[in-house]
Structure 1
Amino acid sequence: MKAMILAAGKGERMRPLTLTTPKPLLAVGGKRLIEYHLLALAQAGFSEVVINHAWLGQQIEDYLGDGARYGVAIEYSRETEPLETGGGIRHALPLLGDAPFLVVNGDIWTDYDFSQLRGPLAGQAHLVLVDNPAHHPDGDFTLFEGQVRDQPGLTYSGIAVLDPALFDGHGEAAFKLAPLLRRAMDVGQVTGEQHLGQWVDVGTTQRLSDLDRLLAERG
């Protein structure tokens, strides 16, 4: 199974830090954000990783290189225009192949064990959900007997396994992922699980500082 790290966002809420540095390369706890994912993916048995980028994307390629020092092989999906999450993933499908793949947002930090997602996919998507953080109190979806439903309850973590078939017939260049997931939920094609460990959506400079303190306490 291949993995994809979403790293194309401009990180506007992280300014001024992201005016000169792409968000996935911001340092926290002695590493760049995206390095935590690469190391965790390698430890979980993933050897092939696709990273999409747009804003200051060459910095990401220059810093990470071919991925060898992390124990993975990296391919880059370069975007010349904003494609949003759904469009960015579909643009990368030629690099990801025909089999289900793992996808993870580049601007989260978590202790989730990615090896748990290497099994067969039942349906078109499998989502990892977490308790609602303070900045997103209503959540996104509900988990009921292993199925994800389009009702607020838990928060989508930004970690999922997706089948390329989820994107069939979508003709727009730029589009969001959530509507495709909701369409698949309506026909019972989305399973899920709840992660009870640590997870941080590093969307603001304050949350970046909070995570830095958390990692310092962990040693």
Structure 2
Amino acid sequence: MKALIFAAGLGERMRPLTDTTPKPLLHVGGKPLIEWHLEKLAALGIRDVVVNTSWLADQFPAALGDGARWGLRLHYAYEGDTPLETGGGMLNALPLLADGGADDAPFLLVNGDVWTDYDFARLPRAPRGLAHLVLVDPPAQAPRGDFALDADGHVRTDGQHMLTYAGIGVYRPQLLDGWRAIIPSPLRANGKPKFPLAPLLRAHMAADAIRGEHHRGRWTDVGTPERLQRLDAELRAQSAPST
């Protein structure tokens, strides 16, 4: 299995920090956000990781190299000067995610700007359906949530108890098959389609093709300088030697 890390966003809410540094390369707990993910992926036995980039893209290979220090092979999927959003970014990265020549192999996806104690080993290597999503309790800054989870593990567009997509999951490339029927008039940037992933997920939920799980542990959408500072303080306190 290969993995894809979304790292192309502009990080507008994180300014001024992201004026000079991409959000996934901001340090928290003594290392870049993205490095927490790389360590987990390496421990899981994944060897090939695709990092999609746009804003300040040249900083990623400069900071991470080829991934050898983690026992990984890093591949960079440059989207162009303008990010392609989640759906367009995944579509752009698909050629690099083919596993052993198979272009239908599932891949692990994680957003480069989240931090969590979720154990990636819990993810299925072959999801039942087109995707398996990790959901968390809605954070204070976005209490509405994104999706609901039914008793059988299917993700629904609505429900009594709404949860937030954690930016972690396992996807089959077939999720993007026929995407133009769902998004018939996508925006374009850098000569490529630019569109969100959520409409595709919602379109397939009615056919029970999207499954998920509820992670009740720690998770942070590191979207603002305040949240970054708070998480950094928590992680440093956690790792400090006891006296």
Q: TM-score, normalised by structure 2?
A: 0.88
Task: Write out per-residue CA displacement over residues 52-71 of structure 1, whole angstroms, 9 at most, x where no aligned residue.
Answer: 00000100111101101012
Residue 132 (structure 2) pairs with residue 126 (structure 1): yes
C-alpha contact (below 8 Å) 1:100/1:164 kept by paired residues: yes
C-alpha separation in 1, matches of 2:204 and 2:130: 7
Distance 2:144 2:46 in 1: 33
Verify: 1:11 aligned to 2:18, yes or no: no
Amino acid in structure 2 at the alignment position of 1:201: D
Does structure 2 retain, via aligned residues, the 8 Å contact 1:26–1:32? yes
Q: How many residue pairs end up in the alignment?
A: 219
Deviation at 1:197, TM superposition (A): 1.2
In angstroms, what is the RMSD of aligned CA positions?
Answer: 1.0
User: Match of 1:36?
Assistant: 36
> Which deviations, in whole Å up to 9, do the C-alpha atoms of 1:20-55 show, x marking residues without a partner?
111111011100000000001111121110000000
Structure 1 distance, partners of 2:178, 2:61, is 31
Identity of aligned residues (%): 58
Shift of 1:214: 1.1
Where structure 2 has 5 or more consecutive residues not aligned to the other structure, the ranges are 181-185, 187-192
TM-superposed deviation, 1:119: 2.7
Corresponding residue to 2:154 among 134, 141, 147: 147
- For residue 117 of structure 1, the aligned residue among 100, 123, 127 is 123
Conserved? CA contact 1:39–1:71, under 8 Å = no
Please give the residue correspondences for 1:45-124 in structure 2 after superposition, counting only pairs within 5 Å. 45-80=45-80, 81-97=82-98, 98=103, 99-124=105-130
CA–CA distance in structure 2, aligned partners of residues 117 and 61 of structure 1: 28
8 Å CA contact retained: 1:2, 1:46: yes
In the TM superposition, residue 213 of structure 1 has moved relative to its aligned partner by 1.2
TM-score (norm: length of structure 1): 0.97
Instruction: Report Cα offsets for 1:130-164 as digits up to 9, x if no partner.
Output: 01110111111111121100016011000011110
Greater C-alpha radius of gyration: 2
Question: In structure 2, what is the Cα distance between the partners aligned to 1:200 and 1:88?
Answer: 22
Structure 1: which 4+ aligned runs deviate by more than 4 Å? none
Q: Report if the CA contact (8 A) 2:179-2:200 is conserved.
A: no
8 Å Cα contact 1:44-1:113 kept in structure 2: no
Structure 1's 38 and 88: CA in aligned 2 closer, same or farther, altered over 3 A?
A: same
Look up the equivalent residue of 2:132 and give its one-letter code: H
Mean Cα displacement is larger for which, 6-15 or 136-145? 136-145
Tell me the secondary structure at the aligned position of residue 122 of structure 1. coil
